[in-house]
Copies of this chain bind each other. A is one copy, B any other.
Amino acid sequence: MPAAVKNKIAGFMNSLIELARDDPRRVIHSLKVGIALSFVSVFYYYQPLYDDFGVSAMWAVMTVVVVSEFSVGATLGKGLNRGMATLLAGALGIGAHHVANQFGHAGEPFVIGFFVFMLAAVTTFVRFIPGVKARYDYGLLIFILTFSFVSVSGYRDDEILDVAQKRVSTIMIGASVCVIVSIALFPVWAGEDLHYLIALNLEKLGNFLEGFGDEYFQDQESKTEDLASTLQDYRSILNSKNTEESLANFARWEPCHGRFQFRHPWKLYLQIGTLARQCAYRIEALNRYLTAEIQTPVSVRAKIKEPGTKMSRECGRALKEMSTAIKAMCQPCASDVHIEASKAAAKGLNSLLKSGIWEGIDLLQVTPVATVAS
């Protein structure tokens, strides 16, 4: 084997190991899919079950492959979407078949064709509605699929009711197996992920602010070119919107678990996420100051060093306090102290500024923090 190919394979293997180490739940998820799939294929092998379901057992296999998702919420959402859509579209399809039957064998294709065309066009269009897309996109896809399936095959198959009924029950079985495996074996809750993601984001912001003051007011000489990497962690927040939104969508499908009650206010997490992002945008601008070409003269810095550092540090501590409070799910009591201290420092800085020095951006930082706290 040439060395280039060997290197490529080694690189690929390394990236796999990296993925597994990064989040071991990925390995568990892969095994879970394998288990669920092996389990439903028993329907095919075990004679009494095969006598009941026949070739329809295939639909259970298919459902398991398609419905298995990483988090419980996503699996449940897809499973429910698939189940509901199949039931509804199956019933409608049988109805359409009966209506079309009135037009005779020659007329049926045209009537069914018209139905399928209308339903597919309208449903495809409805899928563009953002709110519908977020929660029911998969269901609508299956809706079109099953309706076409049932109504069109009604033309050739007289035992349409029997086929439809078997298909619905095997799909239900497949979806249930998925959901049970997903919840019973090392469940991955999207809600929990969202919870910790938001808390971690606040912590990252806090880390930056805590370190920023020291970094900024450092002597010019001792300044290192590359900042401590923990300070740069906040960058991942800038583009976190989509992740947060899909997690919140999945979380809404999940039943109550652990400390998360049914109807947990997932939307509030998104609001905190948005505030954190706005904060991150401003931090991105602050961060620029560290590497900017024009630097404020040291003499001026010295004047505002004390309140500036304090304000930044207290801000950061308040954020980290809030992050801990979110993790523990309690009122952030200690953070108020830090916010007060930060506000006092900001006031001091403000009066300094009024006396002739402009460097007001730090103050703006306080506003979102106070908002997050409320």
Interface residues, chain A, CB within 8 Å of chain B?
Answer: 15-16, 19-20, 26-27, 29-31, 33-35, 37-38, 41, 44-45, 50, 55, 58, 61-62, 65-66, 68, 109, 112-113, 116-118, 120-122, 124-126, 128-129, 141, 144-145, 148-149, 152-153, 155-156, 238-239, 241-242, 277-278, 281-282, 284-285, 288, 292-294, 296, 300, 350, 353, 357-361, 363-364
Contact = CB atoms under 8 A, between A and B. Distances in A.
Contacts of A58: 149, 152-153
A5 B195 CA distance: 36
Nearest to A131: B15
Given A37-B144, A62-B149, A294-B363, 11 more contacts: A19-B128, A33-B144, A41-B109, A45-B109, A58-B149, A65-B148, A238-B281, A239-B242, A288-B364, A293-B363, A358-B359
Tell me whether chain A's interface is mostly helix, strand or loop, or mixed: helix
Nearest to A117: B34
Nearest to A112: B41
**Cβ-closest 5 pairs across A and B:** A285-B285, A34-B121, A34-B117, A30-B125, A45-B109
Given A61-B149, A148-B41, A294-B350, A141 B34 contact: no
A124 B29 contact: yes
B282 A37 contact: no
Given A144-B65, A152-B61, A30 B281 contact: no
A27 B125 contact: yes
Contact of A19 (B109, B129, B277, B293): B129
A273 B278 CA distance: 19
Contacts of A26: 125, 128
Contacts of A35: 117
Contacts of A293: 363
A13 to B, nearest CB: 11
B156 A50 contact: yes
Given A120-B37, A153-B58, A16 B242 contact: no
Contacts of A281: 238, 281, 284-285
A292 B124 contact: no
B116 A41 contact: yes
Contacts of A41: 109, 112-113, 116, 148, 152
Contacts of A126: 16
A75 B122 CA distance: 19
Contact of A66 (B125, B145, B363): B145
Contacts of A120: 30, 33-34, 37, 65
A281 B238 CA distance: 9
B294 A117 contact: no
Contacts of A65: 120, 141, 144-145, 148
Contacts of A153: 44, 55, 58
Contacts of A359: 358
A15 to B, nearest CB: 6
B294 A353 contact: yes
Given A129-B15, A285-B281, A122 B30 contact: yes
Contact of A30 (B109, B124, B278, B353): B124
Contacts of A37: 116-117, 120, 144, 148
